[in-house]
Amino acid sequence: MKRIIKSELKIEKLADFLFECRSLKYLPRASLQHLKSPVNENVAEHSFYTMIIAWLLAKMEKVDEDKVIKMALIHDLAEARGGDRNLINKFYSQPLNEVKIIEGISKDYDLKDFDLSDIFKEFAKEKTLEAKIVKDADILSGMLLEKECLDLGNKNIRKWLIISLKRLKTKNGKALGELLIKTNTDNWWLKLAEKYILKTKFL
């Protein structure tokens, strides 16, 4: 009976953890304040793009992909409790103790076996190649949003894209950043349309 009760309590905690993660869907990216664009993006979406980019960079850099993906997945998890802040906000406020927040999340939901704290601490220190890759992926994810805003007409964003590019640390991250700035955001689907338009039968 005791084992059943403990199991039920643990599952209940996991359910609470999932809903806390889902709350990132309702947290807008803080940078939107300065992008002045109709484009919207929340922290959950940003985390997804970061994870995809980190996976690509991990493959290119030949490092532990599993570790990098997990690190990218939780890189902004602390914002569920601490909120998101853009770089201007950070100039005028005390830094969040994100390590402590992640430790709290791990403890609250009995997630010790998932190594959340250790993975996040490594990311926060930015010493290992894996951590640098995830940080680059974080910046590149922001650059995707910035480039979309640029292509929609906000020419001032080009200055910020150049700043973002300078923040990248890995060789492949920098190469990808340069490519993102040059590539039109509609390029991918225009190529598909050109390739298949004459082969497609329309009703």
pLDDT digits (tens, 9 = 90+) for 15-40: 999 999 999 999 999 888 788 778 89
Q: Are 160 and 181 in contact (CB under 8 A)?
A: no
pLDDT at 33: 79
d(CA 144, CA 46): 10
Helix (H, G, I), strand (E, B) or coil at 94: coil
Asked whether residue 201 carries a pLDDT value surpassing 80, the answer given is: no
Whole-model pTM over 0.85: yes
Q: How confident is the model at residue 9 (pLDDT cuts 50, 70, 90)?
A: low
Range among 3-17, 85-99, 129-143, 145-159 with highest mean pLDDT value: 129-143
Q: Is 79 left (phi over 0), alpha (psi -120 to 50) or beta?
A: alpha
DSSP the chain: -HHHHHHHHHHHHHHHHHHHHHGGGGSB-TTHHHH--S---BHHHHHHHHHHHHHHHHHHHTS-HHHHHHHHHHTTTTHHHH----HHHHHTSPPP-HHHHHHHHHHHTT-GGGTHHHHHHHHHHT-SHHHHHHHHHHHHHHHHHHHHHHHTT-TTHHHHHHHHHHH--SHHHHHHHHHHHHS-TTHHHHHHHHHHGGGPPP-
Mean pLDDT computed over 83-91: 81
Q: How confident is the model at residue 4 (pLDDT cuts 50, 70, 90)?
A: low
Least confident of 57-61, 65-69, 157-161, 173-177: 157-161
Asked whether residue 203 carries a pLDDT value surpassing 70, the answer given is: no
Q: Are 79 and 159 in contact (CB under 8 A)?
A: no
Q: Which fold has domain 2-199?
A: Hypothetical protein af1432 (1.10.3210)
Asked whether residue 167 carries a pLDDT value surpassing 70, the answer given is: yes
Domain map (residue ranges) of the chain? 2-199
Amino acid type, 54: A
Q: Are 116 and 134 in contact (CB under 8 A)?
A: no
Cα angle 69, 71, 77; round to 5: 120
pLDDT at 1: 45
